[in-house]
Amino acid sequence: MKQKFHTLEVNTKGPGLYDFTRDAETFVEGSGIRDGLLTCFVRHTSASLLIQENADPDVLRDLENFMRRTVSRDMGLYRHTTEGPDDMPAHIRSALTQTSLSIPVRDGEWLLGTWQGLYLFEHRDRPHGREVALHVIGE
Q: What would the pLDDT profile of 83-131 be if each residue is shown by its tens digit?
A: 999 999 999 999 999 999 999 999 998 899 999 999 999 999 999 999 9
How many whole angstroms separate alpha carbon 49 and alpha carbon 37? 17
Judge whether 93 and 123 are in contact, CB under 8 Å: yes
Quick check: 8 and 130 in contact, CB under 8 A? no
CATH code 2.60.120.460 for 2-138? yes
Strands 100-106 and 128-138, by their bridges, are unpaired
What distance in Å separates the CA atoms of residue 17 and residue 108, rounded to the nearest whole number? Answer: 27
Q: Alpha helix locations (H) across 97-127?
A: none
Sheet with 16-19: list strands edge to edge. Answer: 16-19, 116-122, 47-53
> pTM for the complete prediction?
0.95
pLDDT in tens, 44-60: 999 999 999 999 999 99
Would you kindly state where each structural domain of the chain is located, as residue ranges?
2-138
